[in-house]
């Protein structure tokens, strides 16, 4: 069997076009230009590339983006001071603090300090709680990208065995929560799964992953999922982005697994572009939710 390739890149282009059209309407009707503030601390080369890609995507869809760069020696209180300014700046609708942060910074304190109404990553505790309760303000970008890809490729999740490999706060945990809900971003068929989450302490991982109708992998280990870990015909979603020599590869051994799976996302060109599209969508939503100012 050769798997169907789930082309996240072209789906993301389509979603970005839809967002661009909504941005035009928002500007015309309310004079609001959605604006994302991206905070980049230190010199991590991958983070620089990710933030640059987010800025380019904003510009192409008609959103504004403002980059706030801080040195690797920045302290927690210096970063909190910047966030307080961004929180109170009415021209900024979304705030993103690129992770990872340098070791001396208290990441939890920083993420807790982003105003929930501007928290387009959905990392703030209030937003995580709202997702868990099935009444999200924002959906976190990568998990939302996974659900958009499944829904738009007409892969239903309701009643399916979904296995998520990885329990990070950014991907694994919120994804489990979203798959469990009674409805998803694209309706009830885009949620309602039977969900298992496995991680570094799980025993007999392959036995668990082989149960999956839909296998989502987000553990950050190059080519970790091999063909014997996948049920023939399963849908495999690879969230990993790993540098291997001069190549970017996912968490799934694409060559081997695509001979077994029914459908698979490539890396690059799978979930990555959708993550960025969902960030634009959240920034647009944040701008739309700004209350009209009463006339003087």
Q: Check binding of 142 to ligand GUN (CB under 6 A).
A: yes
Q: Does 96 participate in binding ligand GUN (rule CB under 6 A)?
A: yes
Residues belonging to the active site: 54, 98, 121
- Total binding residues toward ligand GUN, as defined by CB under 6 A: 8
CB of 97 or CB of 193, closer to ligand GUN: 97
**Candidate list 23, 141, 195, 260; residue touching ligand GUN; CB under 6 A:** 141
How far apart (Å, rounded) are the C-alpha atoms in residues 169 and 112? 13
Window of 67-75, 92-100, 160-168, 261-269 that interacts with ligand GUN by CB under 6 A: 92-100
- In this complex, which beta carbon is closest to ligand GUN, that of residue 120 or of residue 260? 120
CA distance 286 to 17: 18
Q: By CB under 6 A, is residue 97 in contact with ligand GUN?
A: yes
Residue nearest to ligand GUN (CB): 99
Q: Is 163 near ligand GUN (CB under 6 A)?
A: no
Sign, CA torsion 80/61/236/139: positive
| Among positions 162, 170, 178, 257, the unique one binding ligand GUN when judged by CB under 6 A | 170
* Min separation Cβ 120 and ligand GUN, Å: 9
Nearest C-alpha neighbor of 114 from the set 104, 103, 99? 99
Among 64, 65, 74, 98, interactor with ligand GUN by CB under 6 A: 98
The distance of closest approach from Cβ of residue 96 to ligand GUN in the complex, given in angstroms and rounded to an integer, is 5
Kindly tell me which of 140 and 262 has the beta carbon lying closer to ligand GUN. 140
Binding test (CB under 6 A) with ligand GUN, winner from 27, 67, 70, 99: 99
We find the least distance from the C-beta atom of residue 106 to ligand GUN, in angstroms, to be: 16
- With binding defined as CB under 6 A, does residue 121 bind ligand GUN? yes
- Tokens 């928290």 locate to 119
For binding to ligand GUN (CB under 6 A), which residues are involved? 96-99, 121, 141-142, 170
């Amino acid at each position: 069997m050769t798997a169907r390739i789930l082309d996240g890149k072209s789906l993301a282009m389509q979603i970005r076009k839809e967002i661009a059209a909504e941005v035009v309407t928002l500007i015309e009707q309310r004079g609001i230009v959605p604006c994302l503030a991206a905070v980049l601390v230190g010199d991590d080369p991958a983070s620089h590339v990710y933030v640059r890609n987010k800025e380019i995507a904003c510009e192409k869809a008609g959103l504004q983006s403002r980059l706030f760069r801080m040195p690797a020696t920045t302290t927690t209180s210096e970063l909190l001071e910047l966030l307080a300014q961004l929180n109170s700046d009415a021209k900024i609708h979304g705030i993103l603090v690129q992770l990872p942060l340098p070791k001396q910074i208290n990441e939890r304190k920083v993420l807790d300090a982003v105003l929930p109404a501007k928290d387009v990553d959905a990392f703030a505790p209030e937003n995580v709680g709202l997702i868990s309760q099935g009444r999200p303000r924002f959906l976190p970008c990568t998990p939302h990208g996974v659900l958009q890809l499944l829904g738009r490729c007409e892969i239903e999740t309701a009643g399916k065995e979904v296995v998520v490999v990885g329990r990070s706060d950014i991907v694994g945990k919120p994804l489990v929560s979203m798959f469990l809900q009674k409805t998803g971003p694209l309706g009830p068929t885009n949620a309602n799964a039977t969900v298992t989450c496995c991680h570094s302490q799980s025993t007999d991982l392959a036995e668990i992953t082989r149960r999956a109708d839909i296998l989502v992998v987000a553990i950050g280990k190059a080519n970790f999922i091999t063909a014997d870990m996948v049920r023939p015909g399963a849908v495999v979603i690879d969230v990993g982005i790993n540098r291997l020599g001069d190549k970017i590869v996912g968490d799934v051994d694409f060559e081997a697994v695509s001979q077994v799976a029914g459908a698979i996302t490539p890396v690059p060109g799978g979930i990555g572009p959708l993550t960025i599209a969902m960030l634009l969508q959240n920034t647009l939503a944040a701008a739309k939710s700004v209350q009209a100012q009463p006339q003087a």
